Amino acid sequence: MLDLAPWEAVLGVQAKIPTLDGLVSMRVPPGTEAGSQLRMRALGLRQDDGTRGNIYVTMRERTPHPVSPEERALWTQLAQLSTFKPRKES
């Protein structure tokens, strides 16, 4: 599980992921959605044939709480500027 701030999910981020071999840097691409999985190839457990399995990292978006008055003003401004509609209009 990798926790992402909303701006990291939108803009992308380089994140450190713990593996069996220590921390490994992973690129999270811009526009990554909560619940999506990214694969880290050949960094998992050893299989019977001696090769390494994959690690799958699930993205989880975290919402900042509490927010300062300045942050609230910026989120309000973004909401007014954005054309993104997460729900269908009924």
Q: Which residue has the higher pLDDT, 88 or 75?
A: 75
Task: Please determine, looking at this structure, whether the domain spanning 2-81 carries the CATH number 2.60.120.10.
Answer: no
Nearest CA to 17 out of 5, 34, 1 is that of 1
What pLDDT, on the 0 to 100 scale, is given for residue 88? 83
Residue pLDDT, tens place only, 6-40:
999 999 999 999 999 999 999 999 999 999 999 99
Measured distance CA(61)–CA(47) in Å, rounded:
32
The stretch 61-80 carries a mean pLDDT of 96
The structural domains of the chain, with segments of one domain joined by +, span: 2-81
pLDDT at 52 over 90: yes
What pLDDT, on the 0 to 100 scale, is given for residue 90? 61
The stretch 74-89 carries a mean pLDDT of 92
Measured distance CA(4)–CA(37) in Å, rounded:
13
